[in-house]
Structure 1
Amino acid sequence: MLAKTRFARILTLQHATARPLAYGVVSAASFANTKASFHSSAPRRELSAEQQSIVKSTAPVLAEHGLAIISHFYKRMLGNHPELRNMFNAAHQGAGSQSAALAHAVWAYAANIDNLGALTAAVARIGNKHASLGVRPDQYPIVGENLLASIKEVLGDAATRPIIDAWAAAYQQLADIFINFERDLYAQAEATPGGWTGWRKFRVARKVHESDEIISFYLEPVPELGIYQPRQYSLSDTSGEGNSFRISVKKEAAKGQEQPAGRISNLLHENVSEGAELEVSNPYGEFTLDIESDAPVVLMSGGVGITPMLSMLGTLVVHAPQRQVVFVHAARGGKVMAMKNYLSQIVEENKQVSRLIFYEEIAESEQQGRDYDCQGRIEIDKIKDKVLLPDANYYLCGPIPFMRVQQQSLEALGVPSERIHSEVFGSVTA
């Protein structure tokens, strides 16, 4: 039986059609804690002091030209190796967010080349995403070759031989860090009861409408154990034995011409029926709930960010009923809030759990205290008497602007940053 620990993990799905589709899923699932640390991995090749100095000196250049270099890199690499297109989110590629995220990561690596400990969180986040997509050691040389060539081709004569040589050594060091980190993740996944590596076929056992925008898909494995488009969603629940999962997917509508409708979320809503088969990777991720602690927990979410929070809440009431829990959620209105009845039932049956639900739009039939608690958006300063608890741990999930505001508000009220944990949807640039 799997350890009773809930944390966000990446679970990748693949549709069983003539042209298979893959989706990445960030789960808050019950799995053995498979965190890896690059500090404890196999020895890596160290840079000389001169190489470190050269790489660090290029950080301002990367801050200015990094996006141009990375955009050129993706175009070059995917042109030379079209088989790798399946590893990347085409929507993020088209919007430029993936290039911006990688450019920021490369700059951060250069700026911290003499202090790799500062990159621990970034390595954990990126390494878990790599593992969810099945990234292999033999793919790193392809990335390195095209990255170095892009630096030279974009910067021209400014990219001198010493700079290219130093970056070649720096890239090899970084590749070693990730290869060792991901090797640990794969080994831990295989050793976890119910865990696996690679792809495993699951069947959509049930499809449940949770709100006007969100549908839950219940996934169960088929006896037997291609990638088109990776996507990552949160597991909103999993069985105690870890052999079935639930993902709750928001149908992303188009927002003007700049942001088209979500390709995969719309496909799932409209074309994936009960009985369909998907291929799923083992869950990975670093967004963890410390189930051993007795400290209070405050779960704060916005929109579809409610999904991993409900999974964490379910674990807390079953496996840590002594802990005080405050569940804070913001939604546009009752029609789009998922799993309202489930949340109300948990609050009613567990006196240690309280809730604060914020609606921006109130329907005539909705009553304060029953359907929602506050109107408007979450303003922590106005509810601090309910959410500022001694030694509490805070978990945030939702759109990046939402989490940035909540993080800043909590820190302004004196909550230590190490007690604030967040899960990010999409590409991260900061």
Structure 2
Amino acid sequence: MLSQETIDIIKSTVPVLEEHGTQITTVFYEELFKAHPELLNIFNHANQARGKQQTALANAVYAAAVHIDKLEAILPTVVQISHKHVSLGVKPEHYPVVGEYLLKAIKMVLGDAATPQILKAWEEAYGVIADAFIGVEANMYEENEKKEGGWAFFKDFVVEKKVQESNVITSFYLKPADSERVPDFEPGQYISVRVSIPGEKYMMIRQYSLSKTPSSDTFRISVKKEDDNDPDGKVSVYLHEQVKEGDKLEVSAPAGVFTLEKNADKPITFIAGGVGITPIMSMLETLAAEDSKREVVFLQAARTPEFAAFTKQIQSIQERMPNLTYQTYYEDKRIDETILKDMVNTDSDVYVCGPAGFMEFVISTLYHAGISKEQVHFEFFGPAADLEKAQ
């Protein structure tokens, strides 16, 4: 527990963090990677280059300061970020290093304004928050290892087959190299894939949603090939162009909190933009396998029919699920406020996944239409703390 004096000091730094937070986190990452370049094997280089990770961390530090007197308010965010950390292989020994360089960055940016009292208060607060993350993540690693076929950190998988789903999306069916079964997971969760790309100094990790219903033999991820010149496209281009059937990939255990609510009677609305369809396919296939009688509306947005993945599979599922309404929307007729008002049952659980701008429009429109935050579930592709922007 933090003393009232520490809480008051942390609270007093909120305006400073609001103004200088991103500058502090930018300096933090620069100094951290100078001293510990090996950590570049964990962090997403593209998010670093674009400043997304710096902004996400600044948002997280600011939220911690705002809620320092009631840290239970940020527990859902702690759990969500912990899922990301476990998927990346973050370990307890990483936390003291991060704390050291975060305090160093605060001092470097704020100068004399970062008094010994402020630095001491933030050291104490960081210790409490770090302990919370370490505890949550330790439990997750333990649970992953306990599952049948489970493991912690990374494990070798073989690419059993590759299937092209659209002009830009290819599915990879992944089988454990040791021939063990794959563990159960919740529909909507993701795995991390870690690769060593020829010519690149550090390993790269990307997280991909599992795109089919859980089974004992394989995972399926469905990867969009990004532009060759996009910093975030290196891994996807490597997977599409260089990884072949029979090759090995390092894979983490399933993680994530964007999962299908187990409510037998409540209607469901799925709204997917582009490659955001991947976790929703896992959810839909699971409902079909369970012969669910729930009313389901599925709205899929894509640039053109050639860019729309899984349309034939969804139509096939629709034949077996008469309670499924499926609509596709392209550039010439995009999902708009009228469509959402007409198609979304206001009593339904709504699952949204896709590009940031698409999600922000859909979610804000749903809220404006009177659908509660408790009904809307979403997955945002990017650093976990970026989720705050869509809420």
Kept in 1: contact 2:17–2:62 (CA 8 A) = yes
Percent identity, please.
Answer: 46
Deviation at 1:291, TM superposition (A): 2.5
Structure 2 CA distance, aligned partners of 1:141 and 1:411? 40
- Deviation string, structure 1 residues 275-309 (Cα, Å, up to 9, x no partner): 00011111111111112432111011100001111
Paired position in structure 2 for 1:218 = 173
After TM superposition, the structure 1 = structure 2 runs for residues 61-72 of structure 1, keeping only pairs within 5 Å, are 61-72=16-27
Whether 1:332 and 2:303 are equivalent positions in the alignment is: yes
Whether 1:90 and 2:45 are equivalent positions in the alignment is: yes
Structure 1 residues without counterparts, runs of 5 or longer: 1-45, 361-374
- Among 289, 300, 318, the alignment partner of 1:318 is 289
Deviation at 1:190, TM superposition (A): 1.6
Paired position in structure 2 for 1:180 = 135
Kept in 1: contact 2:267–2:345 (CA 8 A) = no
Q: TM-score, normalized by length of structure 1?
A: 0.82
Paired position in structure 2 for 1:347 = 318
Kept in 2: contact 1:238–1:244 (CA 8 A) = no
Kept in 1: contact 2:155–2:252 (CA 8 A) = yes
Q: Could you say what secondary structure the match of 2:205 adopts?
A: coil
- Among 220, 238, 256, the alignment partner of 1:267 is 238
Deviation at 1:349, TM superposition (A): 2.2
- Among 333, 343, 364, the alignment partner of 1:386 is 343
Deviation at 1:99, TM superposition (A): 0.6
Kept in 1: contact 2:353–2:379 (CA 8 A) = yes
- Deviation string, structure 1 residues 366-385 (Cα, Å, up to 9, x no partner): xxxxxxxxx42111433423
Paired position in structure 2 for 1:246 = 220
2:298 maps to a residue whose letter is: F
Structure 2 CA distance, aligned partners of 1:89 and 1:261? 8
Q: Which has the higher helix share?
A: 2
Q: How many pairs were matched up?
A: 366
- The root-mean-square deviation of aligned C-alpha atoms, in Å, is 1.6
- Deviation string, structure 1 residues 172-206 (Cα, Å, up to 9, x no partner): 00101100110111121122223211211100000
User: Comparing 283-292 with 101-110, which one deviates more in the overlay?
Assistant: 283-292
Change (3 A) 1:274 1:340: same
Structure 2 CA distance, aligned partners of 1:322 and 1:261? 40
Deviation at 1:139, TM superposition (A): 1.2
Structure 2 CA distance, aligned partners of 1:329 and 1:157? 54
1:232 maps to a residue whose letter is: Q
- Among 412, 415, 420, the alignment partner of 2:368 is 412
1:415 maps to a residue whose letter is: I
Q: Could you say what secondary structure the match of 2:325 adopts?
A: strand
Q: Could you say what secondary structure the match of 1:344 adopts?
A: helix
Whether 1:399 and 2:355 are equivalent positions in the alignment is: yes
Deviation at 1:51, TM superposition (A): 0.2
Structure 2 CA distance, aligned partners of 1:224 and 1:245? 13
After TM superposition, the structure 1 = structure 2 runs for residues 80-119 of structure 1, keeping only pairs within 5 Å, are 80-119=35-74
2:336 maps to a residue whose letter is: E
- Among 114, 117, 129, the alignment partner of 1:162 is 117
Deviation at 1:330, TM superposition (A): 0.5
Structure 2 CA distance, aligned partners of 1:295 and 1:204? 37
Q: Could you say what secondary structure the match of 1:418 adopts?
A: coil
Structure 2 CA distance, aligned partners of 1:63 and 1:158? 15
Structure 2 CA distance, aligned partners of 1:212 and 1:412? 35
Q: Could you say what secondary structure the match of 2:167 adopts?
A: coil
- Deviation string, structure 1 residues 21-76 (Cα, Å, up to 9, x no partner): xxxxxxxxxxxxxxxxxxxxxxxxx1101101100110110111111111111111
2:342 maps to a residue whose letter is: D
Kept in 1: contact 2:27–2:105 (CA 8 A) = yes
Structure 1 CA distance, aligned partners of 2:142 and 2:207? 22
Paired position in structure 1 for 2:190 = none
Q: Which of the pair has the greater relative contact order for Cα pairs under 8 Å at 6+ separation?
A: 1
Paired position in structure 1 for 2:200 = none
Change (3 A) 1:418 1:403: same
Deviation at 1:254, TM superposition (A): 5.2
Q: Could you say what secondary structure the match of 1:236 adopts?
A: coil
Kept in 2: contact 1:128–1:182 (CA 8 A) = yes
Paired position in structure 1 for 2:188 = none
Deviation at 1:109, TM superposition (A): 0.6
Whether 1:357 and 2:328 are equivalent positions in the alignment is: yes
Paired position in structure 2 for 1:76 = 31
Kept in 2: contact 1:381–1:409 (CA 8 A) = no
